[in-house]
Amino acid sequence: MRDLKGWTFWLAASVAVAASIYHLWTGGLGIFEPREQRSIHLLLLLPLAFILYPATGSSPKDRPSAIDWGLSFLAILPNLYSYQCANGGPFCASVINLRFETVDPVFPVELGLGAIAIVLVLEALRRAVTPVLAGLVALGIGYLFVTEHMPGILYFRDIPASQIVETMYLFNGLGIYGSITGISATMVAVFIIFGAFIEGSGVGRLFHNLGMKVAGRQSGGPAKVEVVSSALFGTISGSSVANVFATGSFTIPAMIKLGYRRHFAAGVEASSSVGGQIMPPVMGAGAFVMAEITSIAYQTIALAAIAGSLLYFFMILVSVHFEAKRLRLVGCDPEDIPQWTEVLKDVHLLVPVFVMIGAMALGYSPAFSAFWGIVAMVPSSWLRGHTRLYPADVLRMLATGGRNMVVVALACAGAGMFVACLTVTGMVISFSTVVTSLAGSNLYLAGILIAITVLILGMGVPTTAAYIIGAAIGAPILQKFGVPELSAHMFVFYFSILADATPPVSVASYAAASIARCSPMAAGVVAFRLSIAGFVVGFSYLHSGALLLQDTWSEIIGEFLANAISLSLVAAGFFGFFRAPLPLWVRLPLIPLGIFLALADALPVWGRVAAATAIAVALFRLQKAAARREREAPVLDVAIQ
């Protein structure tokens, strides 16, 4: 992002503030007709992308170039036309909402503006999001032009250029202004603004101090503080990279100072920050997309995510504890641990969070609940003098929220375009046929193929876009195997998030490595090991609804315990410590054994709990006996001499 100066800075900030105010207004007072809502959404944010993000590394970093200004102006035109033609404005060639798609003609003005819109969204994706997503969408659009020449399952009838532009620009359910963009223009936008207010109000300081107070004195205290604070902060921010920089700036140096290896400290931060997107009550933008796609209430999704997120962070804490014990690390310096009075002096900053959660519990929409959470932010900040928000602070947070919306809005628009490519050509059905033929009747094999696909997508594509594309091609396949809809979508959602912590391209690991000054690949390997609970939980969703709280209490408790104990064994195998250091011949079988006991759905759940517990107890006693013999050995040697 450019570091703008002077009047350009104030212009960009004003547009960003206007975008935030618009989305707050519609979030609290009611949205426009869908086409109008989405058009204004992109009318404000698409031009901003060319002002905020340079085209190349050699482009000016403090001001837009003449080309950037030209692209920004061009970006206004297709969105303005779309808005005023939604219900028949004075300058429209057709009333877009009343069109018969693929039947009514595409007028020359619409063909021209649609082509401009497609090119500008691709360029904005390349600049502001990632060239990978831009390339993926461009590949999909290119495929539409040559479908009649493709072999096998890639073949489709000839699609005229006018129909391609119509699909991307004039369709109301697909393409640039489709339902995916609608989600970012309503629910997601308001929560991004809420996150900007939370981050700017000092809640990060509260979570860090609380983590220090709770876990700072324990062995390897800074790492455990980082896990706790990232879990708390991540549930509000919903962004793994934002979480890394918000909490890692404090915790990574503290971990290194205490004695943790640099790449381990970065891996802990990356895996913990990634987990914030699966931690209720807010989670990531993908959770709101899931609610819209599945028509399952967001409150139900957030509740179903609780057990899995607890297991995820439980394994990270256990792994950190084992590593600290193996290295014989101590806790934080008592002088660095805040008193409860210091922690509690910021606790009033959580009032907006409770307002938001309370509103959702009463049945209000997530956007409306977040709106009232933001409204409660200013008066609650005035409960203490050191946290008071003044008009300048509010404007700064509104500007931050508007800037943060640009990336998500573009990612959703790009994902909507790519899904349109898959849908109109029937590639979703073709992919389903390929996976089904390869997997046969094996649900786990189908899950592995889908997980690999989503992980590859997620390595170069933002979480929200990866989930949207993965859900379009993967969730229906799992449902054909009898997996419930919520379970299938949570499976895809988990792996789209875990891609951020999976080498070779893991953006959270790259961000953490930049703070720790270590190899991103080494940090990514550690993050992958620490995140293995997410992989296990994801596959658990395929055979059981217990971890989604969709079963009897006996099954829910049993499945949770089976996973918790089994994942502890996996952590011991990965990091070489249980009660004492473990030899390699013990570590190697512990990893597959723990994963097997977590996922062996053919065995009774309480039988798996008993087996995992027996192994853990036996391992503990054997190591205890070995430690006793080691302590007694010197005494015996003296007696012999």
Q: ∠45-51-53 over CA atoms, to 5°?
A: 95
What total of structural domains would you count in the chain?
Answer: 3
pLDDT tens readout for residues 438-456: 888 899 999 999 999 888 8
Q: What is the pLDDT of residues 42-70, one digit of tens each?
A: 999 999 999 999 998 888 888 999 999 99
Other beta carbons within 10 angstroms of residue 584's beta carbon come to: 8
CB distance 195 to 236 below 8 Å: yes
Q: How many other C-beta atoms lie within 10 A of the C-beta of residue 108?
A: 10
Average pLDDT score over residue span 556-582: 91
On the 0-12 / 13-18 / 19+ scale of CB atoms within 10 A, 139 is exposed
CA–CA separation, 326 vs 489, rounded Å?
38
- 69 inside domain: yes
How do residues 576-605 score in pLDDT, each as one tens digit?
Answer: 888 888 888 888 999 999 999 999 988 999
Of the ranges 257-266, 485-494, 530-539, which one carries the lowest mean pLDDT score?
257-266
**In angstroms, rounded to a whole number, what is the distance separating the alpha carbons of residues 539 and 536?**
5
- Burial class from Cβ neighbours inside 10 Å (0-12, 13-18, 19+) for residue 158 reads exposed
Tell me: the pLDDT tens digits for 120-170?
Answer: 999 999 999 889 889 999 999 999 999 999 988 888 999 999 999 999 999
Give the mean pLDDT of 326-353: 82
Per residue in 303-334, pLDDT (tens digit) is 999 999 999 999 998 988 888 888 887 767 77
**pLDDT given at position 627:** 66
Q: Which domain holds residue 566?
A: 551-641
Can you spell out the DSSP letters for 387-424? G---HHHHHHHHHHHHHHHHHHHHHHHHHHHHHHHHHH
DSSP string for residues in 523-580: HHHHHHHHTHHHHHHHHHHHH-SGGGT-S-HHHHHHHHHHHHHHHHHHHHHHHTBSSS
> What is the per-residue pLDDT for 437?
86
Q: Are residues 125 and 225 in the same domain?
A: no
Whether residues 228 and 263 share a domain: the answer is: yes
Please check the confidence at residue 638 and state whether its pLDDT lies above 50.
Answer: no
Q: What is the mean pLDDT of residues 561-573?
A: 94
Claim to verify: residue 210 and residue 302 sit in the same structural domain? yes
Q: Do residues 217 and 96 share a domain?
A: no
Beta strands in 129-280 (DSSP E): none
Whether 443 maps to a domain, the answer reads no
Query: What value does the mean pLDDT take over residues 260-267?
Result: 88
pLDDT > 70? residue 20: yes
Residue type present at position 62: D
Average pLDDT taken over every residue of the chain: 87
Q: Domain boundary at 374, 392, 413, which?
A: 413
- Looking at the chain, the whole-number percentage of residues with pLDDT higher than 70 is 94
d(CA 324, CA 330): 8
Q: Which two tokens stand for residue 489?
A: 């979508």
Q: Indicate whether 296 and 207 sit together in one domain.
A: yes
Domain-embedded: residue 155:
yes
Helices 366-375, 351-361: axis angle to 10 degrees equals: 150
Does 329 or 6 have the greater pLDDT score? 6
**What is the pLDDT, as a whole number, of residue 637?**
40
Q: Which residues are CB-neighbours of 279 under 8 A, at least 6 positions away?
A: 231, 234, 235, 305, 309, 313
Q: What are phi and psi of 160, to 5 degrees?
A: -60, 155
DSSP class of 174: S
User: Based on the domain organization, do 26 and 99 belong to the same domain?
Assistant: yes
Token output for 6: 């002077």
Tell me: do 27 and 133 sit in the same domain.
yes
pLDDT on residue 236: 62
Percent helix, strand, coil in the chain, to 5, is: 75, 0, 20
- Distance in angstroms (rounded) separating the CA atoms of residues 496 and 398: 29
The arithmetic mean of pLDDT across residues 522-538, rounded, is 91
Residues 21 and 153 in one domain: yes
Give me the sign of the Cα torsion angle 123, 124, 130, 134: negative
φ/ψ (deg, to 5) at 443: -65, -45
* pLDDT score recorded for residue 632: 61
Q: Are both 223 and 122 inside the same structural domain?
A: no
Q: Are residues 213 and 340 in contact, defined by beta-carbon separation less than 8 angstroms?
A: yes
Residues β-bridged to residue 577:
581
DSSP label at 63? Answer: S
SS3 per residue for 437-475: HHHCCCHHHHHHHHHHHHHHHHHHCCHHHHHHHHHHHCH
pLDDT at 109 over 70: yes
Taking the C-alpha atoms of residue 183 and residue 460, their distance in angstroms, rounded to an integer, is 22
Which of 139, 160, 181 terminates a domain? The answer is 181
Domain stop point among 181, 211, 236: 181
How far are the Cα atoms of 44, 84, 105, 171 from residue 91, in angstroms, in the given order? 20, 8, 17, 19
Instruction: Give residue 636's pLDDT.
Output: 38
**Residue 226 in domain:** yes
**pLDDT at 287 > cutoff 70:** yes
Mean pLDDT confidence for 412-430: 89
pLDDT tens sequence across 188-217? 889 889 888 887 888 777 877 777 777 667
Rounded Cα gap, residues 444 and 578, in angstroms? 30
Q: Which residue has the tokens 């109008």?
A: 36
**% pLDDT > 90, the chain:** 44
514 inside domain:
no
Which tokens belong to 462?
């933002």
pLDDT band (50, 70, 90) for residue 635: very low
Give the position of tokens 């219900």: 87
pLDDT digits (tens, 9 = 90+) for 389-418: 999 999 999 999 999 899 889 989 999 999
Here the tokens at position 117 are 């819109």
Q: Tell me: do 18 and 155 sit in the same domain.
A: yes
Q: Are 523 and 267 in contact (CB under 8 A)?
A: yes
CA distance 18 to 16: 5
163 assigned to some structural domain:
yes
pLDDT at residue 640 tops 60: no
- Answer whether residue 426 is part of any domain: no
The per-residue b/e assignment along 247-257, b for 16 or more CB within 10 angstroms, e otherwise, is bbebbbebbbe
Of residues 68, 31, 73, 66, the one with CA closest to residue 53: 68
Same domain, 397 and 293: yes
Rounded Cα–Cα distance for residues 431 and 449 (Å): 11
Of the listed ranges 363-367, 418-422, 634-638, the one predicted with least confidence: 634-638
Coil, helix or strand at residue 581: strand
* Residue 97: partners with Cβ closer than 8 Å, 6 or more residues away: 33, 35, 86, 87, 172
- Supply the DSSP string of 193-240, one letter for each residue: HHHHHHHHHTHHHHHHHHHHHHHTTSTTHHHHHHHHHHHHHHHHH--H
Does residue 511 belong to any structural domain of this protein? no
Q: Is pLDDT at 258 greater than 70 in this prediction? A: yes
| pLDDT tier, 639 (very low <50, low <70, confident <90, very high otherwise) | very low
Instruction: Give the number of other Cβ atoms within 10 Å of residue 583's Cβ.
Output: 8
pLDDT value of position 598? 93
DSSP state string for 68-112: HHHHHHHHHHHHHHHHHTTTT-TT-SS-GGG--TTTS---HHHHH
If asked whether residues 216 and 344 sit together in one domain, one would say yes
Whether 463 shows a pLDDT value over 90: the answer reads: no
Answer for the pair 238, 191: CB distance below 8 angstroms, yes or no: yes
Phi, psi for residue 104 in degrees, rounded to 5: -65, 150
